[in-house]
Amino acid sequence: MTAALYALRNGKSVLVLEADNFGGQIAYSPRVENFPSIKEISGSVFADNLLEQILALGAQVELERVLNIEKTSSGFTVTTEYGKHDCKAAVIAAGVKHKHIGIAGEEELIGKGVSYCAVCDGAFYNGEEVALVGDGNTALQYSLLLSNYCKKVTVCTLFDKFFGDLTLVNALRKRENVNIIHDVCLKEFIADGELKACRFDGMKGNPGFVLPVKAVFIAIGQYPDNKIFSSLVNLDKDGYIIADETCQTSTPGIFAAGDCRTKKIRQLTTACADGAVAAVAACAYIDSKSF
């Protein structure tokens, strides 16, 4: 939507195609406190405000899942589940999806004790006891962050070790308010509208247990959903769209913005920044062509 905002202000006509919900992942965050100049706002309100802003500027928006983008003699054709749309340039801002545990109640408890981003939601549990599930670098970084303000952080891993950087592992083990439990598997959320506890099964003969916590942070990875674009743009080994700092992909006229592209930091602020950069670059591309 930020890409749409900047393209509209550059005098271009804009069609926003959304597969699921306007705002993507941020719409599920109950509170956003790290966006410049806004002390606190819910993710859904933030997304709604941005949607209203681009609609007021003349954006067309449709809830249509994109199935394919093809290059044509006059630009590109975007095929959705409902039809085709022609354009002179396109910005792919498909985001990423957090890997879920896949147990009952998970979707309903997102924002009510189940979170996939400690950077986004960790501070809301200042002074509380929380759990974290995961064993890679993201899990280690989230655990260290949470230990700065949570009363206790219980880190639970499926295997008998971590798979992240040794420096992070050593730093985590030094934190007095961090409890590490290996060889356990999250099996159940215990909730009454809000998360109350998590039930874990023990692995390798270890006993299971119920862990009372206000929140559980699930950090078992993210994945981009970019396969439908693979014939048009280059993807890295993890499936992210390869794009430079102008958000240009391997195909002139196709730009990638936000979490779906190769980058180090995936946050609301960097997604908005990408949207602005991609839109300005896309407008410059259109202006340089004689269609």
Tell whether the model's pLDDT for residue 33 goes beyond 90: no
Do residues 73 and 92 both lie within one domain?
Answer: yes
Name the band, by pLDDT with cuts 50, 70 and 90, for residue 32.
Answer: confident
The answer for residues whose C-beta is within 8 angstroms of residue 176's C-beta and 6 or more apart is: none
Residue 106 covered by a domain: no
Tell whether the model's pLDDT for residue 144 goes beyond 80: yes
Find, among 250, 280, 254, the residue nearest to 90 by Cα: 254
Do residues 17 and 51 both lie within one domain?
Answer: yes
Do residues 203 and 166 both lie within one domain?
Answer: yes
Which residues span the domain enclosing 212? 114-218
Tell whether the model's pLDDT for residue 117 goes beyond 80: yes
Q: What is the pLDDT of residues 225-253, one digit of tens each?
A: 999 999 999 999 999 999 999 999 999 99
Do residues 172 and 254 both lie within one domain?
Answer: no
Q: How many domains does the chain have?
A: 2
Q: What's the confidence (pLDDT) of residue 261?
A: 97
| Residue range 155-175: mean pLDDT, rounded | 95
Burial of residue 237 (CB within 10 Å: 0-12, 13-18, 19+) is: exposed
pTM of the full structure: 0.77
Tell whether the model's pLDDT for residue 194 goes beyond 90: yes
Residue 49 covered by a domain: yes
Residue 108 covered by a domain: no
The answer for residues whose C-beta is within 8 angstroms of residue 107's C-beta and 6 or more apart is: 100
Q: What is the pLDDT of residues 68-106, one digit of tens each?
A: 999 999 999 999 999 999 999 999 999 998 899 999 999
Positive or negative: CA dihedral 248, 250, 251, 252: positive
76: left (phi over 0), alpha (psi -120 to 50) or beta: beta
Residue 107 covered by a domain: no
Do residues 10 and 77 both lie within one domain?
Answer: yes
Residue 109 covered by a domain: no
Do residues 152 and 206 both lie within one domain?
Answer: yes
Do residues 41 and 67 both lie within one domain?
Answer: yes
Residue 103 covered by a domain: no
Q: What CATH number should be reported for the domain holding residue 174? A: 3.50.50.60
Give 179-183 contacts, CB < 8 A, sequence gap 24+.
179/152, 179/153, 179/154, 179/155, 180/154, 180/155, 181/154, 181/155, 181/156, 181/157, 182/157, 183/157, 183/158, 183/159
Tell whether the model's pLDDT for residue 291 goes beyond 80: no
Q: What's the confidence (pLDDT) of residue 221?
A: 87
Do residues 65 and 121 both lie within one domain?
Answer: no
Do residues 27 and 121 both lie within one domain?
Answer: no
Do residues 73 and 34 both lie within one domain?
Answer: yes
Tell whether the model's pLDDT for residue 28 goes beyond 80: no
Do residues 93 and 121 both lie within one domain?
Answer: no
Q: What's the confidence (pLDDT) of residue 26?
A: 87
Do residues 131 and 82 both lie within one domain?
Answer: no
Name the band, by pLDDT with cuts 50, 70 and 90, for residue 119.
Answer: confident
